Amino acid sequence: MSGQNDRRSAPGSLSDGVYEHIYKAISAGEWTVGAKLPTEVELAVQFGVSRPVVREAMVRLRIDGLIESRQGAGTRVISVPSRSVVEFAEPGSIADLQRCYEFRVGVEGEAAFVAAQRQSRAKITEILAIVDKLRIAALEERDIPAEDDIAFHVAVAEATENSYYFSSVKAATVALYIGTKIARTLAHSTVGRIALVYEEHRLIAEAISSGDAESARSAMRAHIESARRRVFVGA
Protein backbone atom coordinates (compact mmCIF):
# COMPACT_ATOMS: atom_id res chain seq x y z
CA MET A 1 0.00 0.00 0.00
CA SER A 2 1.55 3.27 -1.06
CA GLY A 3 1.87 5.97 1.56
CA GLN A 4 1.78 8.62 -1.16
CA ASN A 5 -1.53 7.28 -2.48
CA ASP A 6 -2.90 7.16 1.07
CA ARG A 7 -2.16 10.84 1.58
CA ARG A 8 -4.11 11.74 -1.53
CA SER A 9 -7.14 9.74 -0.30
CA ALA A 10 -10.04 11.22 1.61
CA PRO A 11 -9.58 11.08 5.42
CA GLY A 12 -12.29 8.44 5.86
CA SER A 13 -10.65 6.13 3.37
CA LEU A 14 -7.29 6.23 5.17
CA SER A 15 -8.53 4.29 8.19
CA ASP A 16 -10.58 2.08 5.83
CA GLY A 17 -7.40 1.13 4.01
CA VAL A 18 -5.49 0.32 7.21
CA TYR A 19 -8.48 -1.57 8.60
CA GLU A 20 -8.93 -3.65 5.46
CA HIS A 21 -5.21 -4.44 5.12
CA ILE A 22 -4.97 -5.70 8.70
CA TYR A 23 -8.29 -7.56 8.38
CA LYS A 24 -7.04 -9.36 5.26
CA ALA A 25 -3.68 -10.12 6.85
CA ILE A 26 -5.35 -11.74 9.86
CA SER A 27 -7.78 -13.60 7.59
CA ALA A 28 -4.89 -14.91 5.48
CA GLY A 29 -3.00 -16.14 8.53
CA GLU A 30 -0.20 -13.59 8.37
CA TRP A 31 -1.07 -12.84 12.00
CA THR A 32 -2.48 -15.86 13.83
CA VAL A 33 -4.39 -15.97 17.10
CA GLY A 34 -2.06 -14.79 19.84
CA ALA A 35 0.24 -12.92 17.48
CA LYS A 36 1.28 -9.46 18.60
CA LEU A 37 0.64 -6.64 16.13
CA PRO A 38 3.12 -3.84 15.47
CA THR A 39 2.68 -0.70 17.55
CA GLU A 40 0.57 2.23 16.33
CA VAL A 41 3.76 4.13 15.53
CA GLU A 42 5.13 1.22 13.48
CA LEU A 43 1.85 0.77 11.60
CA ALA A 44 1.62 4.49 10.94
CA VAL A 45 5.08 4.41 9.35
CA GLN A 46 4.25 1.25 7.40
CA PHE A 47 1.07 2.71 5.89
CA GLY A 48 2.29 6.30 5.60
CA VAL A 49 -0.55 7.67 7.71
CA SER A 50 -0.96 9.41 11.06
CA ARG A 51 -1.37 7.61 14.38
CA PRO A 52 -5.02 8.78 14.76
CA VAL A 53 -5.81 7.08 11.44
CA VAL A 54 -4.25 3.83 12.67
CA ARG A 55 -6.01 4.20 16.02
CA GLU A 56 -9.41 4.51 14.31
CA ALA A 57 -8.77 1.33 12.32
CA MET A 58 -7.67 -0.51 15.46
CA VAL A 59 -10.79 0.57 17.35
CA ARG A 60 -12.95 -0.95 14.63
CA LEU A 61 -10.94 -4.19 14.67
CA ARG A 62 -11.45 -4.37 18.44
CA ILE A 63 -15.20 -3.82 18.02
CA ASP A 64 -15.19 -6.65 15.49
CA GLY A 65 -13.66 -8.90 18.13
CA LEU A 66 -10.49 -9.59 16.12
CA ILE A 67 -7.92 -7.93 18.38
CA GLU A 68 -7.52 -6.81 21.97
CA SER A 69 -5.16 -4.32 23.57
CA ARG A 70 -3.77 -4.51 27.08
CA GLN A 71 -1.74 -1.94 28.91
CA GLY A 72 1.91 -2.90 28.75
CA ALA A 73 1.22 -6.00 26.64
CA GLY A 74 0.43 -4.40 23.30
CA THR A 75 -2.22 -5.55 20.83
CA ARG A 76 -2.79 -9.19 19.99
CA VAL A 77 -5.01 -11.13 17.61
CA ILE A 78 -7.81 -12.98 19.43
CA SER A 79 -9.96 -14.18 16.52
CA VAL A 80 -9.50 -15.01 12.83
CA PRO A 81 -12.32 -14.00 10.45
CA SER A 82 -13.55 -16.13 7.58
CA ARG A 83 -11.72 -15.63 4.28
CA SER A 84 -15.13 -15.71 2.59
CA VAL A 85 -15.53 -12.02 3.41
CA VAL A 86 -12.44 -11.17 1.39
CA GLU A 87 -13.50 -13.47 -1.45
CA PHE A 88 -17.06 -12.14 -1.78
CA ALA A 89 -16.62 -8.46 -0.98
CA GLU A 90 -15.63 -6.03 -3.70
CA PRO A 91 -12.05 -4.71 -3.43
CA GLY A 92 -11.99 -1.92 -0.89
CA SER A 93 -15.54 -2.62 0.30
CA ILE A 94 -15.00 -4.57 3.54
CA ALA A 95 -15.12 -1.37 5.60
CA ASP A 96 -18.24 -0.27 3.72
CA LEU A 97 -19.89 -3.61 4.46
CA GLN A 98 -19.13 -3.13 8.14
CA ARG A 99 -20.56 0.38 8.10
CA CYS A 100 -23.70 -0.93 6.39
CA TYR A 101 -24.29 -3.30 9.29
CA GLU A 102 -23.86 -0.41 11.73
CA PHE A 103 -26.35 1.63 9.69
CA ARG A 104 -28.83 -1.24 9.55
CA VAL A 105 -28.80 -1.78 13.31
CA GLY A 106 -30.15 1.72 13.85
CA VAL A 107 -32.45 2.11 10.86
CA GLU A 108 -33.96 -1.38 10.82
CA GLY A 109 -34.32 -1.44 14.58
CA GLU A 110 -36.45 1.68 14.37
CA ALA A 111 -38.30 0.31 11.32
CA ALA A 112 -39.35 -2.74 13.36
CA PHE A 113 -40.42 -0.43 16.20
CA VAL A 114 -42.58 1.71 13.89
CA ALA A 115 -44.01 -1.34 12.09
CA ALA A 116 -45.17 -2.72 15.44
CA GLN A 117 -46.83 0.60 16.22
CA ARG A 118 -48.52 1.00 12.83
CA GLN A 119 -50.17 -2.43 12.98
CA SER A 120 -50.89 -2.59 9.24
CA ARG A 121 -52.46 -6.04 9.21
CA ALA A 122 -51.99 -6.55 5.47
CA LYS A 123 -48.27 -5.80 5.75
CA ILE A 124 -47.91 -7.91 8.88
CA THR A 125 -49.63 -10.81 7.12
CA GLU A 126 -46.94 -10.53 4.42
CA ILE A 127 -44.17 -10.57 7.05
CA LEU A 128 -45.64 -13.67 8.68
CA ALA A 129 -45.94 -15.40 5.31
CA ILE A 130 -42.24 -14.79 4.62
CA VAL A 131 -41.31 -16.12 8.06
CA ASP A 132 -43.28 -19.26 7.29
CA LYS A 133 -41.26 -19.65 4.08
CA LEU A 134 -38.07 -19.29 6.14
CA ARG A 135 -39.33 -21.98 8.53
CA ILE A 136 -40.02 -24.42 5.72
CA ALA A 137 -36.66 -23.69 4.07
CA ALA A 138 -34.82 -24.16 7.38
CA LEU A 139 -36.56 -27.49 8.01
CA GLU A 140 -36.66 -28.99 4.52
CA GLU A 141 -33.73 -27.38 2.70
CA ARG A 142 -31.46 -26.75 5.70
CA ASP A 143 -30.93 -23.26 4.33
CA ILE A 144 -32.20 -19.68 4.51
CA PRO A 145 -32.36 -18.34 0.91
CA ALA A 146 -30.82 -14.88 0.57
CA GLU A 147 -33.78 -13.67 -1.45
CA ASP A 148 -36.27 -14.62 1.28
CA ASP A 149 -34.07 -13.09 3.98
CA ILE A 150 -33.97 -9.83 2.07
CA ALA A 151 -37.71 -9.98 1.38
CA PHE A 152 -38.32 -10.18 5.14
CA HIS A 153 -36.35 -7.02 5.88
CA VAL A 154 -37.98 -5.14 3.01
CA ALA A 155 -41.43 -6.25 4.20
CA VAL A 156 -40.71 -4.91 7.69
CA ALA A 157 -39.68 -1.58 6.16
CA GLU A 158 -42.87 -1.52 4.09
CA ALA A 159 -44.91 -2.18 7.23
CA THR A 160 -43.77 1.17 8.64
CA GLU A 161 -45.81 2.85 5.89
CA ASN A 162 -42.98 5.36 5.73
CA SER A 163 -41.18 5.60 2.40
CA TYR A 164 -37.95 6.79 4.03
CA TYR A 165 -37.52 3.53 5.91
CA PHE A 166 -38.38 1.56 2.79
CA SER A 167 -35.87 3.49 0.64
CA SER A 168 -33.12 3.15 3.25
CA VAL A 169 -33.55 -0.59 3.64
CA LYS A 170 -33.77 -1.11 -0.11
CA ALA A 171 -30.50 0.81 -0.50
CA ALA A 172 -28.82 -1.61 1.91
CA THR A 173 -30.03 -4.79 0.21
CA VAL A 174 -26.86 -5.18 -1.88
CA ALA A 175 -24.76 -5.40 1.28
CA LEU A 176 -27.42 -7.60 2.88
CA TYR A 177 -27.22 -9.99 -0.07
CA ILE A 178 -23.41 -10.14 0.11
CA GLY A 179 -23.53 -10.76 3.86
CA THR A 180 -26.10 -13.54 3.47
CA LYS A 181 -24.08 -15.21 0.71
CA ILE A 182 -20.94 -15.09 2.85
CA ALA A 183 -22.74 -16.60 5.83
CA ARG A 184 -24.02 -19.46 3.66
CA THR A 185 -20.47 -20.41 2.60
CA LEU A 186 -19.16 -20.81 6.12
CA ALA A 187 -18.44 -24.30 7.35
CA HIS A 188 -20.15 -23.51 10.62
CA SER A 189 -23.50 -22.81 8.93
CA THR A 190 -24.91 -25.94 10.53
CA VAL A 191 -28.52 -26.99 10.92
CA GLY A 192 -28.47 -25.55 14.43
CA ARG A 193 -27.18 -22.21 13.23
CA ILE A 194 -29.75 -22.06 10.43
CA ALA A 195 -32.47 -22.79 12.98
CA LEU A 196 -31.12 -19.91 15.08
CA VAL A 197 -31.31 -17.52 12.13
CA TYR A 198 -34.93 -18.58 11.53
CA GLU A 199 -35.72 -18.07 15.21
CA GLU A 200 -34.31 -14.54 15.12
CA HIS A 201 -36.66 -13.67 12.26
CA ARG A 202 -39.60 -15.34 14.01
CA LEU A 203 -39.08 -13.30 17.17
CA ILE A 204 -39.04 -10.06 15.19
CA ALA A 205 -42.23 -10.96 13.33
CA GLU A 206 -43.96 -12.07 16.53
CA ALA A 207 -43.14 -8.80 18.30
CA ILE A 208 -44.32 -6.72 15.34
CA SER A 209 -47.54 -8.74 14.99
CA SER A 210 -48.34 -8.39 18.70
CA GLY A 211 -47.67 -4.66 18.69
CA ASP A 212 -44.74 -4.90 21.12
CA ALA A 213 -42.66 -2.10 19.61
CA GLU A 214 -39.81 -2.21 22.13
CA SER A 215 -39.35 -5.95 21.74
CA ALA A 216 -39.51 -5.62 17.94
CA ARG A 217 -36.74 -3.04 17.98
CA SER A 218 -34.59 -5.09 20.37
CA ALA A 219 -35.10 -8.29 18.39
CA MET A 220 -34.22 -6.63 15.09
CA ARG A 221 -31.11 -4.96 16.50
CA ALA A 222 -29.98 -8.24 18.08
CA HIS A 223 -30.57 -10.10 14.81
CA ILE A 224 -28.48 -7.69 12.74
CA GLU A 225 -25.67 -7.64 15.32
CA SER A 226 -25.68 -11.45 15.29
CA ALA A 227 -25.66 -11.47 11.48
CA ARG A 228 -22.65 -9.16 11.49
CA ARG A 229 -20.77 -11.45 13.87
CA ARG A 230 -21.64 -14.50 11.80
CA VAL A 231 -20.23 -12.85 8.68
CA PHE A 232 -17.12 -11.16 10.05
CA VAL A 233 -16.13 -13.20 13.10
CA GLY A 234 -17.97 -16.48 12.66
CA ALA A 235 -19.47 -16.25 16.12
* Burial of residue 225, with CB atoms counted within 10 A of its CB: 0-12 exposed, 13-18 middle, 19 or more buried: middle
Q: Which residue has the higher pLDDT, 65 or 132?
A: 132
Q: Which residue ranges form the domains of the chain, and what is each CATH number?
A: 3-80 (1.10.10.10), 85-232 (1.20.120.530)
Pairing state between β 74-77 and 67-70? antiparallel
Mean pLDDT, all residues of the chain: 85
C-alpha closest to that of 139 among 204, 81, 197, 98 = 197
Could you write out the DSSP letters of every residue in 57-102?
Answer: HHHHHHHTTSEEEETTTEEEE-----THHHHHSPTT-HHHHHHHHH
C-alpha distances in Å from residue 24, one per residue of 51, 61, 127, 134: 20, 11, 37, 33
Angle at which helices 163-171 and 173-185 cross, to 10°: 50
Flag whether pLDDT at 232 surpasses 80.
Answer: no
| 3-class SS of residue 36 | strand
Residues 13-41 pLDDT 10s: 788 889 888 988 988 889 999 999 999 99
Span 98-123, average pLDDT: 93
Name the 3-class secondary structure at 165: helix
* Percent of the chain residues past pLDDT 70, beyond the cut: 84
pLDDT of residue 190: 67
Name which residue leads in pLDDT, 51 or 180.
51
**Residue 217 exposed, middle or buried by CB count within 10 Å (0-12, 13-18, 19+):** buried
